[in-house]
């Protein structure tokens, strides 16, 4: 009862439940409260319809304007367009702008997998990561999802380019649990902490790999790659 149509609400629910079923509660129904809050505050246009940006479409590529709609709605439109192009020409590349949180990246790669295609999905996010040799946030969790069919089996990769997604820290914070050393840093940007409140309240996440001495700069590089692509 937050303004979304029944069809759009059902899609969002499907994406959230898919995350819980995969054992990723940080992106599951846990996120429903955030979505409802944004809809009630009119931060998301519940009735928005995504559309191809005029002048951007080719036989294999396109840019989509999400018109500030629900991330799942925009992403489904984009993936369906991308898959049609891939089937027609061998490759499809579709980018989105003015969209919102789209759930687990792997949900969208799995749509391609079901059609016998290799599927990539990336997104940038609000800044939560403190880069190598930095002292404040300057990058998102910026996930990478890559799914590839392999006969009766498949390869499925869905990962943040930070050591963990911020949702895992939020879950620990709600449960009043410590986080493992290496997940995040305090407000100095250089000291690891096991206190989730320090990570959420002025600190930040480490890049995949952790601090510099454990090669966190590699995760930082992947994080920036996603930022550039998105």
Q: Could you give the residue numbers annotated as active site?
A: 101
Ramachandran class of 197: left when φ > 0, alpha when ψ lies in -120 to 50, beta otherwise: alpha
Under DSSP, the state recorded for 31 is: G
Residue 106, both tokens: 């792997």
Q: Is the dihedral of CA 175, 177, 179, 185 positive or negative?
A: positive
Q: Which among 180, 168, 163 is positioned nearest to 215, based on CA atoms? A: 163
Q: Is the dihedral of CA 23, 27, 28, 33 positive or negative?
A: positive
Residue-by-residue DSSP string for 185-215: E-TTSSSEES-HHHHHTT-EEPBTT-SGGGT
Q: Which among 107, 105, 123 is positioned nearest to 226, based on CA atoms? A: 123
């Amino acid at each position: 009862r937050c303004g979304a149509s029944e069809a759009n609400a059902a899609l969002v629910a499907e994406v959230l439940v898919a995350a819980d079923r995969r054992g990723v509660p940080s992106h599951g129904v846990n996120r429903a409260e955030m979505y409802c809050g944004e809809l009630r505050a009119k931060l998301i246009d519940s009735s928005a319809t995504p559309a191809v940006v005029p002048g951007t479409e080719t036989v294999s590529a396109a840019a989509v304007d999400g018109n500030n709609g629900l991330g799942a709605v925009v992403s489904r439109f984009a993936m369906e367009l991308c898959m049609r192009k891939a089937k027609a020409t061998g490759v499809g590349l579709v980018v989105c702008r003015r969209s919102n949180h789209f759930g687990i990246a792997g949900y969208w790669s799995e749509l391609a997998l079901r059609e016998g295609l290799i599927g990539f999905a990336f997104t940038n996010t609000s800044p939560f990561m403190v880069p190598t040799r930095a002292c404040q946030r300057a990058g998102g969790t910026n996930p990478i999802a890559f799914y590839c069919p392999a006969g009766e089996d498949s390869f499925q990769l869905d990962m943040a380019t930070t050591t963990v997604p911020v949702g895992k820290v939020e879950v620990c914070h709600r449960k009043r649990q410590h986080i493992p050393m290496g997940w995040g840093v305090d407000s100095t940007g250089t000291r690891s902490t096991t206190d989730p409140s320090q990570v959420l309240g002025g600190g930040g996440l480490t890049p995949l790999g952790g601090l510099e001495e454990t090669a966190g700069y590699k995760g930082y590089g992947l994080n920036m790659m996603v930022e550039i692509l998105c």
